[in-house]
Amino acid sequence: MSAETRAGVPLSSPDITEAEIAAVTAVLRTPHLSLGPELAAFEADLAAFHGVDHAVAVSSGTAGLHLALLTLGIGPGDEVILPSFTFIAVANTVAQVGATPVFADIDPVTLNLAPAAVERAVSPRTRAIMVVHTFGIPAAMGALLALARRCSLFVIEDACEAIGASYGDPPRPVGSFGDLAVFGFYPNKQMTTGEGGAVLTRNPAHAERLRTLRNQGRAAGAGWLDHVELGYNYRLSELACALGRVQLSRIDEILALRRAAAERYHNLLQNIPGLEVPPLTVPNGTISWFVYVVRLPEEADRDGIQTELSRHGIATGRYFPPIHRQPFWSTHPASQTADLPVTERVARRTLALPFFNRITSEQQVEVAEALRKALGR
């Protein structure tokens, strides 16, 4: 590796302070490393933040999606409508419960499910819509919830990328709209538990089922070796919960830092000819900045630009190669019948730039200048 690439601006970086280190260390001084007081407190904090009754912490966002589908009884013969322009776990978990994913196209501005496309995808077998709040931009919940009500469909919100975003008037946090909502706390997210996630619900029966499923099928209050149904080990450790509690207590500060970083990029990049920057605001909601994704000019050579930026130590990502184009999914019937012109058009041009709480103005200037040069502008 050359000196040039060693300096580097990473794509993402967790923001861990002495408070997180102290909280995790304190757990290590107790005998409770799993299923203890930190779990109960983290779940209570998450539920209170979102104004819902129940939060069930799990080992990842993927585990949360899997349990959400199982809790609603979705399985073989059922269809679930979802975007292809998202992370692969969204479709994989639908397949893992034996249901059939049906890909619907997205809105070209928000990059979230387009309600009209979702409506076209509804069939007599549709059971649920998996509504992803992509890149922290709230999805069109008003239209999607109305459609779900009209067609008697469940709504699972995938808010893995969107903690702290809000929607509606008066505004409500994303994750408080669906039958169930899933969050993810991987280290590239706004807040992290290392690995981890959570499922939120207002329904006490759903909460109980989620707790049973995440803990090897043990019913509430049952003994350690009593298993009433097929379950999983999707528990989140006390160390992770302690870390999550401190991160959640800092969420306003974190979101403000990320918003300021997004505004700085906007000012640096908006005048580069042919480059499309993400909107800073959206109607009916507020953004929780997860990543900063630009769209390159149509004719730009994205691979070449990524290589050029990486030569300067600047990491970038192709968020997202559509799921229906992934090797595993491309031969699936759901992919072959998918009609996703906006997804195809957008996904060819997207480039995620380095983006994290503590990114400095100097680093952002460096990224902007390197991108401008790589584009020949």
Ligand X SMILES: Cc1ncc(COP(=O)(O)O)c(C=O)c1O
Q: Which residues bind ligand X (CB under 6 A)?
A: 60-62, 65, 86-87, 89-90, 132, 158, 160-161, 184, 186, 197
Give the nearer residue to ligand X in terms of CB position, either 347 or 374: 347
Nearest-approach distance from CB 163 to ligand X, in angstroms: 11
Nearest-approach distance from CB 184 to ligand X, in angstroms: 3
Give the nearer residue to ligand X in terms of CB position, either 160 or 305: 160
Give the nearer residue to ligand X in terms of CB position, either 87 or 356: 87
- How far apart (Å, rounded) are the C-alpha atoms in residues 10 and 44? 33
| Ordered alpha helix ranges (H), 112-194 | 115-121, 141-151
| Element spanning 305, H or E | helix 302-311
- How far apart (Å, rounded) are the C-alpha atoms in residues 274 and 281? 20
Nearest-approach distance from CB 22 to ligand X, in angstroms: 25
342: helix, strand or coil? helix
Nearest-approach distance from CB 188 to ligand X, in angstroms: 7
Give the nearer residue to ligand X in terms of CB position, either 62 or 335: 62
- How far apart (Å, rounded) are the C-alpha atoms in residues 100 and 189? 28
- How far apart (Å, rounded) are the C-alpha atoms in residues 343 and 238? 40
Side-chain-facing half-sphere of 334: CA atoms under 13 Å: 26
Torsion from C-alpha of 216, 217, 220, 222, nearest 10 degrees: -80
Give the nearer residue to ligand X in terms of CB position, either 288 or 364: 288
Give the nearer residue to ligand X in terms of CB position, either 198 or 207: 198
238: helix, strand or coil? helix
Q: What separation in angstroms does the CA of 7 have from each of 310, 312, 366, 370?
A: 11, 8, 12, 14
132: helix, strand or coil? strand
The residues, any chain, with a CB within 8 Å of residue 178's CB and separated by 6 or more, are 131, 154, 155, 156, 157
The residues, any chain, with a CB within 8 Å of residue 365's CB and separated by 6 or more, are 268
Give the nearer residue to ligand X in terms of CB position, either 187 or 217: 187
Give the nearer residue to ligand X in terms of CB position, either 200 or 275: 200
Give the nearer residue to ligand X in terms of CB position, either 15 or 275: 15
The dihedral through the CA atoms of 191, 209, 239, 23 has a sign that is positive
Beta pairing class for 350-353 and 100-104: unpaired
Nearest-approach distance from CB 246 to ligand X, in angstroms: 19
Nearest-approach distance from CB 343 to ligand X, in angstroms: 14
Nearest-approach distance from CB 133 to ligand X, in angstroms: 8
Structure tokens at 162: 């969107």
Nearest-approach distance from CB 311 to ligand X, in angstroms: 27
Q: Are 55 and 46 in contact (CB under 8 A)?
A: yes
The single residue listed with the structure tokens 């209570």 is 44
Q: What separation in angstroms does the CA of 196 have from each of 47, 58, 357?
A: 16, 6, 19
Give the nearer residue to ligand X in terms of CB position, either 132 or 141: 132
Nearest-approach distance from CB 192 to ligand X, in angstroms: 10
Nearest-approach distance from CB 61 to ligand X, in angstroms: 2
Beta pairing class for 154-158 and 180-184: parallel
> Which residue number has the CB closest to ligand X?
61
